[in-house]
A and B are shown apart, each in its own frame.
Chain A
Amino acid sequence: MFCIGICDDDEGLCGELEKMLYDYGKEHKIQMNIDIWYQGESLCRFLRENKKILDVLFLDIELLTTNGIEVGRFIREEQENMETAIVYISANSSYAMDLFRVQPTDFLIKPLDKIKVGNVMNRIQKISEVRKGIFEYFGSGYYFKVLYKDILYFSSQNKKVYLVLKDGQKEFNGKLKEIAKKIPGNFIQIHQSYLINFDYIEECSYESVKMKNGDTIPISQPYRKSVRKQLAERVWRDRE
Chain B
Amino acid sequence: MFALITTLSTNLLRTYIIYRFMRLFFWTDIEEKKKERACYVLFFVLTAVVYLIFCSPGMSVITNIVLIFLITVCYEGALKKKIFVTLLVYGTNMGCDLVAVHLLTDYSITGKVGECAAYITVLLLLICDVISEKILIKNKGEDKTPHGMILAVISALCLAELLIVEQELKNRILLVLFGCCVLAVVLLIFYLYDVLISAYKKLEEQSLMEKQMLIYSHQLDVLMQSEEKVKALRHDMKNHLGELALMAGNQNNEEIRKYIQDMGEYMQNQSELVSCGNKNLDSLLNYLLGQAKKKLNHVEYEVRVPSDLCISAFDLNVILGNLTENAIEAAEQTKDKWMSVDIYYEKGMLSMEIKNSFQHELAVEKNKLLSTKEEKGHGIGLANVRKMVEKYQGFMDVSNTNQIFTVKVMLYL
- The answer to the question of B397 belonging to the interface, with a C-beta cut-off of 8 Å to chain A, is yes
Neighbouring B residues of A205 by C-beta, 8 Å: 348, 393, 412
Verify B395–A228 contact, CB threshold 8 A.
yes
Stretch at the interface among A4-12, A68-76, A158-166, A232-240: A232-240
Verify B397–A232 contact, CB threshold 8 A.
yes
- The answer to the question of A18 belonging to the interface, with a C-beta cut-off of 8 Å to chain B, is no
Neighbouring B residues of A239 by C-beta, 8 Å: 342, 344, 351, 353
- The answer to the question of A50 belonging to the interface, with a C-beta cut-off of 8 Å to chain B, is no
Verify B349–A95 contact, CB threshold 8 A.
no
- The answer to the question of B315 belonging to the interface, with a C-beta cut-off of 8 Å to chain A, is no
Chain A residues 63-114 with CB under 8 Å of chain B are 93-97, 99-100, 103, 106-107
- The answer to the question of B114 belonging to the interface, with a C-beta cut-off of 8 Å to chain A, is no
Contact A204 B349, CB 8 Å, known A93-B275, A94-B276, A231-B410? yes
- The answer to the question of A203 belonging to the interface, with a C-beta cut-off of 8 Å to chain B, is yes
- The answer to the question of A206 belonging to the interface, with a C-beta cut-off of 8 Å to chain B, is yes
- The answer to the question of A202 belonging to the interface, with a C-beta cut-off of 8 Å to chain B, is yes
Verify B393–A103 contact, CB threshold 8 A.
no
Verify A103–B347 contact, CB threshold 8 A.
yes
Q: How many residues of B contact A (CB 8 A)?
A: 27
- The answer to the question of B408 belonging to the interface, with a C-beta cut-off of 8 Å to chain A, is yes
Verify A206–B351 contact, CB threshold 8 A.
no
CB nearest neighbor in A for B304: A107
Docked pose: A239 CA to B303 CA in angstroms = 12
Contact A236 B347, CB 8 Å, known A95-B277, A99-B306? no
What is the interface of chain B mostly: helix, strand, loop, or mixed?
Answer: strand
Verify B306–A232 contact, CB threshold 8 A.
no
Neighbouring A residues of B274 by C-beta, 8 Å: 93
- The answer to the question of A13 belonging to the interface, with a C-beta cut-off of 8 Å to chain B, is no
Docked pose: A209 CA to B143 CA in angstroms = 33
**Using an 8 Å CB-CB cutoff, how does the interface string of B142-164 with A read, 1 for contact, 0 for none?**
00000000000000000000000
Docked pose: A97 CA to B306 CA in angstroms = 5
Docked pose: A205 CA to B308 CA in angstroms = 19
CB nearest neighbor in B for A238: B346
- B408 CB contact (under 8 Å) in A97, A99, A103, A236: A236
- The answer to the question of A182 belonging to the interface, with a C-beta cut-off of 8 Å to chain B, is no
- The answer to the question of A54 belonging to the interface, with a C-beta cut-off of 8 Å to chain B, is no
Neighbouring B residues of A204 by C-beta, 8 Å: 347-349, 412
CB nearest neighbor in B for A206: B393
Q: How many A-B residue pairs have CB under 8 A?
A: 75
- A201 CB contact (under 8 Å) in B277, B303, B347: B347
- The answer to the question of A181 belonging to the interface, with a C-beta cut-off of 8 Å to chain B, is no
Docked pose: A231 CA to B349 CA in angstroms = 9
- The answer to the question of B182 belonging to the interface, with a C-beta cut-off of 8 Å to chain A, is no
What class of interface size applies to chain A in its complex with B?
20 to 34
CB nearest neighbor in A for B346: A235
CB nearest neighbor in A for B347: A201
Verify A97–B395 contact, CB threshold 8 A.
no
Neighbouring A residues of B393 by C-beta, 8 Å: 205-206, 228
- Nearest CB of A to B145, in Å: 28
CB nearest neighbor in A for B397: A232
CB nearest neighbor in B for A230: B395
Verify A203–B347 contact, CB threshold 8 A.
yes
- The answer to the question of A145 belonging to the interface, with a C-beta cut-off of 8 Å to chain B, is no
Verify A95–B276 contact, CB threshold 8 A.
yes
- The answer to the question of B128 belonging to the interface, with a C-beta cut-off of 8 Å to chain A, is no
**Using an 8 Å CB-CB cutoff, how does the interface string of A176-220 with B read, 1 for contact, 0 for none?**
000000000000000000000000011111100000000000000
Verify A96–B308 contact, CB threshold 8 A.
yes
Docked pose: A152 CA to B304 CA in angstroms = 26
Neighbouring A residues of B346 by C-beta, 8 Å: 100, 103, 235
Verify A100–B306 contact, CB threshold 8 A.
yes
Docked pose: A94 CA to B275 CA in angstroms = 6
- The answer to the question of B345 belonging to the interface, with a C-beta cut-off of 8 Å to chain A, is yes
Contact A95 B307, CB 8 Å, known A203-B348, A232-B397, A239-B342? yes
- The answer to the question of A52 belonging to the interface, with a C-beta cut-off of 8 Å to chain B, is no
Docked pose: A136 CA to B3 CA in angstroms = 82
- The answer to the question of A229 belonging to the interface, with a C-beta cut-off of 8 Å to chain B, is yes
- Nearest CB of A to B323, in Å: 15
Docked pose: A201 CA to B348 CA in angstroms = 9
Chain B residues 340-368 with CB under 8 Å of chain A are 342, 344-349, 351, 353
Q: A95-B307, A232-B408 are in contact. List 12 more A-B contacts (CB 8 A).
A: A93-B274, A94-B275, A96-B277, A96-B307, A97-B306, A205-B393, A228-B393, A228-B394, A232-B410, A233-B397, A236-B397, A239-B351
| 20 pairs, A vs B, C-beta closer than 8 Å | A93-B274, A93-B303, A94-B277, A94-B278, A95-B304, A95-B307, A96-B307, A96-B308, A97-B308, A97-B309, A100-B345, A103-B346, A103-B347, A203-B348, A204-B348, A206-B393, A228-B410, A232-B397, A235-B351, A236-B351
Top 7 nearest A-B pairs (CB, nearest first) are A94-B277, A203-B348, A206-B393, A232-B410, A97-B306, A232-B395, A94-B307
